[in-house]
Chains A and B, each alone.
Chain A
């Protein structure tokens, strides 16, 4: 059957409009700020979504982004040294707290980041680490913007945990609809049906949210062997715990 088309040149031009530099400029400098002002969006909290279920409480992801005070190669070197000089302490802490699967410190741009996979409740995890490697936390957080108000962490336990929580990235859910539910829940909207939504607004909602939460984790992460704690893995592999 011959393909008939009602596509006119103006249609083709409009279809290609979003890719043009002109439109991208307008979007960035006019449209997004306008809609951010018209439909303000609150930042979403970081860390794994609260859940009672057991699989959701092991292998939790922490994505900490902490901007350095000294934004230069010197500042980055200081941060690198703060970690390197405390390597023994960090390993002793990780081995004895026993709930961490993987942890790494990463310098990206002028940020010192920590990405880890841990079991159980976030506050317990941080608190146990404050008890074992509090001095390392103090050494690192001293170099971070706004860090001085929560160190020494041993004397400011609750405030330090809150401070870290604020820098733990929001985990955008795996499905776009769960993302919409997150936004709605923040506004107290837990309706299911009937509702009066507009799904075509999803792109705008996502753009505005990524303006409020500039750094995010996309999805809750891939796990090769979900559902097991670090101690369970070690026990079953015969490594002791």
Chain B
């Protein structure tokens, strides 16, 4: 178990990198919205996993979509990771969470890496690159760093790049963050749960898997030049759901021996078996955003019977860190699943 002090340090490291304090809101993924929906598993799902929500009957779902950046100022149009946290409500009152982001691979392998990253990738003043230097870049066939967004004065980009240049395992994650862009809609992005979980089949066979939400409407980003578009995602989803439901397909990739099961910086290749586990339908934006958007507290380790976490150190760290942060901001406490003794 990660000690509380490490969890505390993790959360403090994140808080330390904020442009301004956020009070009782989340330190990252601060801006978000709660949404309600329903998940129906495919016929194949139950042959791979005994978890209740994969047995085929419709399961009510609470979700929160969010922007990755920490801080209270909303920048929908900036290039940023988006989050999709899903809670499957099970019949006995417990739940199973699945937390996913548009970033497919993380950029650090464990907690020590993350602390080093936080030290290097600090919020620094960010300015437009001088035009002479840009020409010099072109002559060397390099792409110069992007122009700052309107009103952007600080950024972690330079520090993150520095960290990536030192550590090859982080390069994919950081590269993808740099290129991620801004989606047209929360319902038009792919979200990945990044970490490996173990699912247990009815015959007792356990398989290492990774989950991904694939938008039925397709992935679409806004044009890169439109960075000044702002505060549109909430309204867009609200309007969309009034017209018709939005849907996601849950894809489960099965890992093989030799794959990096506990390393969330390494993607799994497209040659792995993929199972279509079911369809999630978003029905309406939650009426009570305070309860269903802010106080609701997801945890990647809240899992139904039949799904277990892998030994991924970041996944382990998130258990404690999320709890610490939730406690700090007064979110709803973690209700363990039925087979655990303590319930707060």
Which residues of A come within 8 Å of B, CB atoms?
1, 3-7, 10-11, 13-15, 17-18, 23, 27, 31-32, 35, 52-56, 58-59, 174-178, 180-181, 191-204, 207, 219-223, 226-227
Contacts and interface: CB of A to CB of B under 8 A. Distances in A.
B252 to A, nearest CB: 13
B166 interface: yes
A3 B228 contact: yes
Most A Cβ at <10 Å: residue of B172, B254, B271? B271
Most A Cβ at <10 Å: residue of B168, B258, B272? B168
A66 to B, nearest CB: 26
Given A4-B151, A175-B172, A177-B175, A32 B141 contact: yes
Contact of A199 (B161, B257, B258, B272): B161
Contacts of A56: 269, 271
A216 B329 CA distance: 52
B131 interface: yes
Contact of A174 (B256, B259, B269): B269
Contacts of A180: 171
A176 B271 contact: no
B165 A199 contact: yes
Interface of B: 128, 131, 134-135, 137-143, 145, 147, 150-151, 161, 164-169, 171-172, 174-175, 228, 254, 256-259, 267, 269-274
A222 B274 CA distance: 12
Contacts of B168: 177, 181, 191-193, 195, 197
A225 to B, nearest CB: 8
Ranked 9 nearest A-B pairs via Cβ: A204-B141, A227-B273, A3-B150, A193-B167, A55-B271, A14-B131, A177-B172, A177-B171, A197-B165
Nearest to B167: A193
A203 B175 contact: no
Contacts of B134: 14-15, 17
B142 A203 contact: yes
Contacts of A191: 168
Contacts of A226: 270-274
A212 to B, nearest CB: 15
Contact of A220 (B141, B171, B271): B271
Contacts of A197: 164-166, 168, 171
A197 B167 CA distance: 8
Given A181-B168, A197-B165, A5 B150 contact: yes
A223 B269 CA distance: 11
Contact of B256 (A3, A5, A55, A198): A55
A235 to B, nearest CB: 16
Contact of A223 (B137, B165, B254, B271): B271
A193 B128 contact: no
A200 B143 contact: yes
B136 to A, nearest CB: 11
Contacts of A219: 270
14 contacts: A3-B150, A11-B128, A14-B131, A14-B134, A54-B256, A56-B269, A56-B271, A176-B175, A192-B168, A194-B166, A199-B171, A220-B269, A226-B271, A227-B272
B141 A203 contact: yes
A189 to B, nearest CB: 10
